[in-house]
Amino acid sequence: MNILHVVRQFHPAVGGLESYVQNMALQQQKLGHKCAVLTLNKVFHGQEGVLPRRDIVDGLAIHRVPFVGRPRFFLPLVPRSYLKEYDVIHVHNTDGFFDFFSLMAGKKRKSIFATTHGGFFHTRNLALIKKFYFRLITRTLGKRYSALVAISQNDYNVFSGVNDNLILKPNAIVPPGDFVANGPDFVYLGRLAPHKNVAAIVRTFARIKNDSGCTAKLHIIGPEWGVKRKDLRSLAQALGVDSDIVFHGFISPERMKEVLRNCGWFLSASSFEGFGMSMLEGMAVGLIPFVQPNESFRELIAQGKVGACVDFMSPDRAAREIQRHMKLVGESDRENARKFALQFSWERLAQDTIEIYRKYGTW
């Protein structure tokens, strides 16, 4: 098959969704299919300016198009030639691309698919407008798709009724390594975005340090995405823990392994997660997760039976809960975390997705 994956942001943007699309396309190419990525020509939280129309990353062709509008509500200016060139068009998330390909490809009975990735409910900004848009526009245009893939049970529930062919297929992960981490340090993996509430992690970590006097450090790994490292550093300094927090930004896989080997605990105060990929990546090397009780995290904690949900919006209470759970963790818990996370295989997900194309596509 000649497959076009469509995603709002891609290389050089870095994040869970970008990683998902890249891994899916590369895995499908390993299965003998030809894949390319269509994305916008600007990174919303970067300094690159307008990006080249065409690029190649890891052997994967990238096509970039201009757009009008804002990051969440935009109209991509996509040439109609893309509709003719590809056998399958796979849109990731429900944004301007989702609407465009529903209107254009749906009329021509093309094989178009979409993966939910949590929709556009990552923040409460414009919540009423988002709900109205979802109920009126997304639900209507979603019916034109050959099938929709929900990445979590929560997404499946939210998108129920949008399309008759709604399939639950959880995300997959690439394990950071094949070791079991058992160090003293804490780590946060992900973008520095407002809905990730990294400041709440800093406050909770400060309470843990003050309560226990431990020598552990907190590693914050990820690019700026609306939240500045300098502001988090100022908060850490005000709380007296600036020397105990390391802000790494985006780091290479090799450096990631070095950092994670010194860690034992994964923290996330995110108010919303489409799936919880970074949490599973941490669990894949034995990290024990302490995470905000959003729908996706609650689902994964219940299934994995390792770690706990704690409310980081109350740093004092969260710190006490984390310390209490830490005392109960043994080596078997780390092995159980790894076993659970390693179930989410890319090879299996890529093959299952190809089978979805074959079953529901219009040929």
What are the DSSP calls for 90-104, one per residue? Answer: EEESSSHHHHHHHHH
The pLDDT score that the predictor gives to residue 278 is 94
- pLDDT recorded at residue 130: 76
Mean pLDDT to the nearest integer, 215-232: 95
Poorest-confidence range of 70-84, 171-185, 205-219, 300-314?
A: 70-84
Q: Higher confidence at residue 66 or residue 84?
A: 66
Q: Quick check: 340 pLDDT over 80?
A: yes
pTM (two decimals): 0.83
Average pLDDT over every residue of 354-362: 95
What does the pLDDT read at residue 110?
Answer: 85
Helix (H) or strand (E) holding 34: strand 34-40
What average pLDDT does this structure show over 21-49?
Answer: 94
- Tokens 């509709």, residue located: 83
48, 72, 293, 323 from 123: Cα distances, Å: 25, 11, 15, 29
Helix locations, 123-262, DSSP H: 127-133, 139-141, 153-158, 198-212, 229-238, 253-261
Structure confidence at residue 214 (pLDDT): 92
Residue 196 is predicted with a pLDDT of 96
What the chain holds in terms of domains, given with CATH numbers, is: 2-172+345-360 (3.40.50.2000), 185-341 (3.40.50.2000)
Percent of the chain with pLDDT over 90: 82
* DSSP string of 110-138, one letter each residue: -EEEEE-TTTT-SSSTTHHHHHHHIIIII
Q: pLDDT tens across 115-150, in order?
A: 999 876 555 566 677 788 888 999 999 999 999 999
Supply the pLDDT for residue 154: 87
